[in-house]
């Protein structure tokens, strides 16, 4: 893809979009977290919140280097096809028209 963008001049601009959910509590990968201790009481507890705060962010990048400002999605919104299409129509298309 990068080779195509570098070597083939085109009047088309490609746009990549993605969304990411950021959670306050960091996920612990127990496979990579190792503790050496002589006694079980020396092992620090791993604390996690039942319902940690989170934010979902939608963004886009164009092949010409233009970057869309992050769009924060409402808390507790389950992102299905209907909601994703609404974001594309109300957020992404106006950004494309503007740039």
Assigned token pair, 42: 């020396």
pTM (2 decimals)?
0.65
- Which pLDDT score, from 0 to 100, does residue 30 have? 61
Is 60 exceeded by the pLDDT of residue 9? no
Domain ranges of the chain: 2-27+48-98
Handedness of CA 67, 73, 77, 82 (dihedral sign): negative
Instruction: Give 40-91 pLDDT, tens digit per residue.
Output: 888 877 777 777 788 899 999 988 888 999 999 987 778 889 999 999 999 9
17-50 burial, b at 16+ Cβ within 10 Å, e below that, comes to eeeeeeeeeeeeeeeeeeeeeeeeeeeeeeeeee
């Amino acid at each position: 893809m990068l080779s195509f963008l570098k070597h083939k001049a085109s009047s088309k601009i490609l746009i990549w979009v993605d969304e990411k959910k950021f959670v306050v509590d960091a996920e612990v990968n127990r496979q990579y977290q190792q503790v050496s201790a002589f006694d079980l009481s020396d092992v620090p507890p791993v604390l996690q919140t039942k319902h940690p705060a989170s934010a979902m962010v939608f963004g886009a990048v164009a092949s010409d280097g233009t970057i869309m400002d992050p769009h924060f999605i409402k808390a507790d919104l389950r992102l299905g096809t209907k909601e994703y299409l609404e974001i594309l129509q109300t957020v992404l298309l106006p950004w494309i028209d503007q740039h």
